[in-house]
């Protein structure tokens, strides 16, 4: 008899459904629940939160969820792996430990994985010879003055496995790879050390990492997807004989087919025969998928190779300010009037002495996202005018935000739909991907038991 485990992913990104993890937890059998909270921009937001309040800088949605399920979690023996720690894994754990004490949940072990945050080590790394050159442009990070907001290494999965090996019920990490959240329980359970095995767990994680995108969400033939409101989040069933099946809880909406899984396999894909993670390199041109039952897709023949000697670093820095604002312009002549509105805004801003590094205008409804592919709907009955600016000067960007509403009374007729107040300048958080020698990064694991 093969031994298998069920790993469900209840959160695909920062801002995903707050109810999905609970539905996955309560809706059927799972052994592990994973949750992904960190987008590239999230770390810089969390660094800012931590700067204002040393007790913050992690995903508070996660703590609220754990608080809801804690007694049941321990009773059922479901273990959680989540990158909810952001830039403050300790504070995240402290809140969960308090929750455990308050609810008299004893024996709960909560682990943190740290070492990914190298913001405080940048000077030392520079002095040790790391250029942290931009992976696409080759420019060195330290070649120009930059206000760096966050710098985090995508950690290998090994420290998460170590935490589970030490009996952690909940593993809280900062930056790790998204597939690593699923790979960690796989490697903890089956101790695979061959590259194909590590690649198999990685592919399971890749298919699960965007939540419902493998169970019918964002699927081309959307009209075939049953009960989208109650869409089930994905579960990977992994067996000690190397079996991998993607499925979802019985009775949930959505669907798991070779087509929904194939679309997700290629999501955010670069070179398919060379998918690089800190744990291995996966050859996606080796994989076969087949429908083995209703809402059950088997994934076989995954080939892996040894990883590279470097780790990827995600660095973010301040690159000026941006704002966007929008208005609805009705017909007749919606497009012509919207074009006039745009011209009026730019002219008035010029009269106020504001020129911008970059401006942008869109006429939504006329054919923006498929511009050049579909013919422009020049006679659209109404148009959403959307304007945007970028500039290094925050004051100028805020000034732009004050020039939208006046169009309602001082522009052409039929201008409406101005809601939500004046658009305000937002920081442009630019992303700087780099590589670092993996020997210069050390991950630490700490496991604490409640009451100890």
Partner 1 sequence: MRVKLSRLAHARSGDKGDGSNIGLIAYTDEGYALIREIITPEAVKAHFSAICKGAVDRYEVPNLRALNFILHDSLGGGGTESVITDAQGKTHGLGLLLMEIDVPDDFELE
Contact residues for partner 1 (CB under 8 A)? 40-41, 136, 213, 218-221, 259, 262-273, 284-289, 301, 316, 319, 322, 324, 358, 360, 362, 364, 368-374, 386, 388-390, 428-431, 433
Q: Nearest approach, Cβ of 41 to partner 1 (angstroms)?
A: 5
Question: CB within 8 A of 295, min separation 6: which ones?
Answer: 247, 248, 255, 256, 257
Closest to partner 1 by CB, 387 or 443: 387
> Which residue's CB is nearer to partner 1, number 119 or number 262?
262
Ramachandran category for residue 53: left, alpha or beta (phi over 0 → left; psi -120 to 50 → alpha) = beta
Task: Pick between residue 19 and residue 371 the one whose CB is nearest to partner 1.
Answer: 371
Minimum Å gap between C-beta 343 and partner 1 is 18
Choice between 373 and 419, CB closer to partner 1: 373
Report the residue number, 18 or 376, with the smaller CB distance to partner 1. 376
Min dist CB 193 to partner 1, Å, is 25
- Count other Cβ atoms within 10 Å, centred on residue 346: 19
- Residue 232 CB, nearest approach to partner 1 (Å): 19
CB of 414 to partner 1, least distance (A): 22
Nearest approach, Cβ of residue 272 and partner 1 (Å): 5
Question: Cβ closer to partner 1: 280 or 287?
Answer: 287
């Amino acid at each position: 008899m093969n031994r298998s485990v069920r790993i469900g992913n209840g959160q695909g990104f920062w801002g995903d459904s707050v109810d999905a993890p609970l539905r996955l937890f309560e809706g059927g059998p799972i052994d592990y629940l994973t949750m992904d909270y960190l987008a590239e921009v999230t770390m810089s937001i969390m660094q800012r939160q931590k700067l204002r309040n040393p007790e913050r800088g992690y995903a508070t949605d996660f703590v609220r969820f754990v608080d809801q399920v804690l007694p049941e979690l321990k009773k059922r023996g479901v273990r959680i792996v989540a990158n909810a720690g952001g830039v403050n894994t300790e504070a995240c754990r402290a809140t969960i430990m308090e929750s455990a004490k308050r609810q008299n949940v004893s024996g709960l072990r909560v682990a943190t994985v740290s070492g990914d945050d190298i913001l405080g080590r940048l000077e030392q790394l520079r002095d040790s010879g790391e250029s942290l050159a931009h992976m696409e442009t080759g420019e060195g990070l330290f070649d120009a003055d930059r206000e760096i907001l966050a710098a985090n290494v995508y950690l290998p999965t090994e420290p998460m496995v170590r935490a589970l090996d030490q009996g952690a019920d909940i593993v809280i990490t900062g930056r790790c790879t998204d597939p690593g959240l699923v790979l960690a329980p796989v490697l903890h359970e089956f101790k695979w050390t061959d590259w194909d095995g590590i690649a198999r767990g990685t592919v399971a994680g890749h298919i699960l990492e965007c939540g419902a995108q493998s169970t019918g969400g964002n699927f081309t033939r959307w009209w075939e997807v049953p009960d989208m409101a109650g869409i089930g989040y994905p579960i990977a069933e992994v067996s000690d004989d190397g079996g991998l099946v993607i499925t979802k809880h019985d009775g949930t909406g959505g669907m798991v087919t070779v087509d929904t899984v194939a679309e997700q396999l290629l999501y955010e894909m670069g070179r398919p025969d060379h998918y690089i993670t800190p744990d291995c390199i996966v050859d996606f041109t080796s994989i076969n998928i087949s429908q083995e039952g209703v809402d059950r897709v088997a994934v076989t023949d995954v080939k892996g190779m040894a990883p590279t000697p470097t780790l990827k670093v995600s660095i973010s820095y301040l690159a000026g300010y941006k704002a966007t604002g929008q208005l609805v312009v009705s017909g007749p002549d919606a497009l012509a009037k919207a074009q006039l509105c745009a011209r009026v805004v730019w002219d008035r801003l010029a009269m106020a002495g504001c020129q911008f590094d970059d401006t942008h205008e869109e006429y939504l409804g006329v054919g923006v996202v498929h511009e050049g592919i579909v013919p422009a709907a020049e006679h659209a009955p109404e148009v959403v005018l959307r304007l945007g600016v970028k500039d290094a000067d925050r004051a100028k960007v805020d000034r732009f935000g004050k020039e939208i509403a006046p169009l309602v009374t001082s522009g052409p007729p039929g201008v409406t739909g101005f809601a939500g107040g004046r658009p305000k300048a937002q920081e442009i958080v630019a992303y700087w991907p780099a590589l670092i020698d993996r020997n210069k990064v050390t991950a630490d694991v700490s496991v604490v038991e409640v009451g100890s």
